Chains A and B, each alone.
Chain A
């Protein structure tokens, strides 16, 4: 069975500060991992994905995430927060034998203070 835990339902940072959103997963088989972003009144958009190539994955809008197998983590970071980064972020896991089904974490709402 697979599961995803996002630590912190709300994270608040100042504009220009480091963004760190935490994601830990559980999977009995090698996982595929995704980060999605949801802006108000919109659907989810893919930020980045890990598919067993490089462990450091770069995504859109300056975000990146690092896959750490020993820690079963896939934390999302951005060096300098922008006001436009305020949104809800979801971590999700899939596996090669799951036919593309995603298991989502609970979500983390990111607020950016001026």
Chain B
């Protein structure tokens, strides 16, 4: 089984719908992250969480919200989806410690908003 699991893997939906992307991990890591990937732009950080009670905005948080339900679960929501939120979304985790800890990624959720 994968250490970082994202569901769903693919989703097509309509403008204005509420969408939740889920991420769960079995690595026991405290830190979790949500990124979006767009062609030619690399990955950009949406939100990150250092523990259950610590949620922080990233570079591009507008239009998104998150919930850290437990150490192992971190969900990303789009309250009212719009077409320019069509992208590949990744969840990642890292261990506590200095910033030299590598991040471990899920396989991504491909989201299309029509």
With contact pairs A43-B4, A49-B100, A95-B99 given, residues A104 and B42 touching in the complex (Cβ less than 8 Å): yes
Q: How far is the CB of A50 from chain B (nearest CB, A)?
A: 9
User: Which chain B positions have C-beta within 8 A of A102?
Assistant: 43, 45, 103
Decide: A43 and B90 in contact? CB cutoff 8 A. Answer: yes
User: Which chain B positions have C-beta within 8 A of A106?
Assistant: 40-42
Nearest A residue to B91 by beta-carbon distance? A43
Q: How far is the CB of B42 from chain A (nearest CB, A)?
A: 4
Q: How far is the CB of B35 from chain A (nearest CB, A)?
A: 8
Contact with B along A29-54 (1 / 0, CB 8 A): 00010101000011111100101000
Decide: B45 and A105 in contact? CB cutoff 8 A. Answer: no
Decide: A9 and B40 in contact? CB cutoff 8 A. Answer: yes
Decide: B43 and A100 in contact? CB cutoff 8 A. Answer: no
Contact with A along B81-109 (1 / 0, CB 8 A): 00000000010101000111111111110
User: Which chain B positions have C-beta within 8 A of A101?
Assistant: 33, 45, 48, 58, 99
Decide: B90 and A96 in contact? CB cutoff 8 A. Answer: no
A90 beta carbon closer than 8 Å to chain B: yes
Nearest A residue to B42 by beta-carbon distance? A104
B73 beta carbon closer than 8 Å to chain A: no
Decide: A107 and B99 in contact? CB cutoff 8 A. Answer: no
Question: Which B residues have a C-beta under 8 Å from some C-beta of A?
Answer: 4, 31, 33, 35, 40-45, 48, 50, 58, 90, 92, 94, 98-108
Q: 24 pairs across A/B with beta carbons < 8 Å?
A: A32-B100, A41-B108, A42-B107, A42-B108, A43-B90, A43-B92, A44-B43, A44-B92, A46-B102, A46-B104, A95-B99, A96-B99, A99-B31, A99-B99, A100-B94, A100-B99, A100-B103, A101-B58, A102-B45, A104-B43, A104-B44, A106-B40, A106-B41, A106-B42
Given contact pairs A44-B43, A104-B43, enumerate 12 new A-B contacts (beta carbons under 8 Å). A6-B42, A36-B105, A41-B107, A43-B92, A43-B108, A44-B92, A46-B104, A51-B100, A90-B42, A99-B31, A99-B50, A104-B35
